[in-house]
Structure formats: structure tokens, C-alpha cells
Amino acid sequence: MERTSREERRQGPSLVRGKMVPPTTYDERLLDRRGSSEWLHMDPWRVLRIQAEFVEGFGQLADLPRAVTVFGSARTPVDDPDYELGERLGKTLARAGYAVITGGGPGCMEAANKGAREAGGISVGLGIELPFEQKLNDYVDLGIEFRYFFVRKTMFVKYSEAFVVLPGGFGTLDELFEALTLVQTRKITKFPVVLMGTEYWGGLMDWINGTLLATGKISADDPKLIHVTDDPDEAVRHIVAGHQEAAQLAAEASAQAAAEADVQAAAERGGA
């Protein structure tokens, strides 16, 4: 199929248009095992590109203040109630002092970015190269385009203190369950996860409680990792309370460690 001059795609920091748009993305080529084995011998070079993408992300986001990542469908129209909910959520987070990070796309992501900007907050978009065009929305103040999903996911987790999930599809579910897995396995601790939309997420929560928990596939405390609400203010209160609890636990652990060190030092002096 001949490419038209109107087609364009972001490739990391680069923009290509028309005939310069390749037929596949970097992710597709990385994962493709078909065809010539010559691709296999190029994997060591891909590592350098992946490393560069990590360095770029770390460098751009290192000075970001405390932030919350908002996920949700890119297909949500502007006149949908979920879009309005996303706007209110972005505003509420910004007014509470949080930067708002999204995938940078349209729909619910755009709504959260818009709300954050209108409330005077920091609006961040972490985009991804896709086979179909999806540019960063107009409400992103700090935007980064990634080639690889796994690099982008790392940035979402590393620079966020919580995830808030608006109604969405496969991509949203992927991000939700990755976060839950990281919390469940204690790769990250005291990381609030909030689902916005009790009606939308009700079926999922019924399945988690009625199938996963009932058949022993998860522990009794695992469903408690998820907080479900329709109220942006409640979502932010839950996030703030989680962070306060985490800070208190950290202070108690530090005090206990210091006390144990003092006891050990006293015992060593007595033994001497």
C-alpha cells in the first residue's frame, strides 16, 4: 500500500512522514522471530537503543515532583461521562499537589491531562510508537515518546506514587494487573491502586472475589489492594492516606533499626 504524505509517526525523539514511515514498529521488529536469522544477530545492538531509551526517560523525569499515573481508554469521546470524570480527577490530583502522568493519548488520558493543566498542575504524557497514529494530546506539558512498551511501563511505576484507573480496555487492564502483581509480590510497597467507576469495574471485582479468591488463586488480602470509587475526592484521600501510612511505617522501621543498633553497640561495649 502506497504511503501518503499525510501519514506520520513518532519514533522516539524523531518524527517521520510519508514514505519515510516504516511498515512496522520497533516493538514488532524486536519480538518478530520470522524470516532471516540476521535479526537475531542484531539483538545486542538493540540493547543499546533500549538502554538509551531508559536513560532518556530517567533524565527527563528525574526532577518530577510526587506524581500519580492515570490510565484509561483512548477511545472515550469528549462527550462521554468518563471523560468528564477524568477531567475532574486530573484537577483534584493537581490541587492536592500531584503531577499527573498518563499515556499521553486521547480519551481518558487527554481528560486527565486537561484537568491537571487547567488546575495549574504538571501534566505529563508518556507516549508509545504504534502501528496506527496516536500523537500526544494537546494538554501534555512534558511529553516523551517511547519505542518499547516495557521501558514506558517502567517509567509509569518508577515515577508514580499511585495508579488511578478509569474505564478502559486491554491496555488499561494490562497496566492495572501489572501494578497489582508488583504490589502483590512486594516489588513495590504501599502503592495505592484506585479504580474509578463502581458500575464499570463491578464485574471485574465480582470475578476477583468470586472466582480468583474463591478458588484459592489469590490470597484473602489481595482484593484489598484495590480501592473502587466514583468520587475523585475519595480517590485522592485514599492515596494521601496510603502515603501517610507508608511514611509512618518507614519512620517506625527506622526508629526500630536505630534502637537495635544502640542495643548492639552497648552489648559490644559491655563485652569489651
State pLDDT tens for residues 197-232.
999 999 999 999 999 999 999 999 999 999 999 999
81, three cell numbers: 461521562
Topology annotation, domain 64-251: Rossmann fold (3.40.50)
Look up residue 23 and give its three cell numbers.
Answer: 511498515
Closest by alpha carbon to 27, among 46, 7, 44? 46
Residue 87: per-residue pLDDT: 99
Whole-model pTM? 0.80
What is the distance between the alpha carbons of residues 11 and 86, in angstroms, rounded to a whole number?
28
For residue 120, what is its C-alpha cell? 495549574
Q: For 44-66, what is the mean pLDDT?
A: 91
Percent of the chain with pLDDT over 70: 89
Average pLDDT across the chain, whole number: 88
CA-to-CA distance for 167 and 41, rounded, in angstroms? 41
62 Cβ contact list (under 8 Å, min separation 6): none
Least confident of 116-120, 217-221, 243-247: 243-247
Q: Given a cut of 50, is residue 5 above it in pLDDT? A: no
Q: Which amino acid is at 260?
A: E
Res 79 pLDDT > 50: yes
Q: Report the pLDDT value the prediction gives residue 258, as an integer from 0 to 100.
A: 79
**Quick check: 2 pLDDT over 50?**
no
* Cell numbers that stand for 162 in this block: 499511585
Terminal-to-terminal C-alpha distance of the chain: 84
The C-alpha cell at 144 is 516523551
- Cell 509480590 maps to which residue? 185
CB atoms within 10 A of CB 149: 17
Tell me which residue has cell 510508537. 129
What would the pLDDT profile of 178-196 be if each residue is shown by its tens digit? 999 999 999 998 899 999 9
**How many of the other CB atoms lie within 10 Å of CB of 128?**
21
What are the residue boundaries of the structural domains of the chain, listed by start?
Answer: 8-55, 64-251
**Better-scored residue on pLDDT, 189 or 235:** 235
Backbone angles phi, psi at 42, to 5 degrees: -90, -10
CA angle in degrees (0–180, nearest 5) for 166-112-161:
75
**Does residue 234 have a pLDDT over 90?**
yes
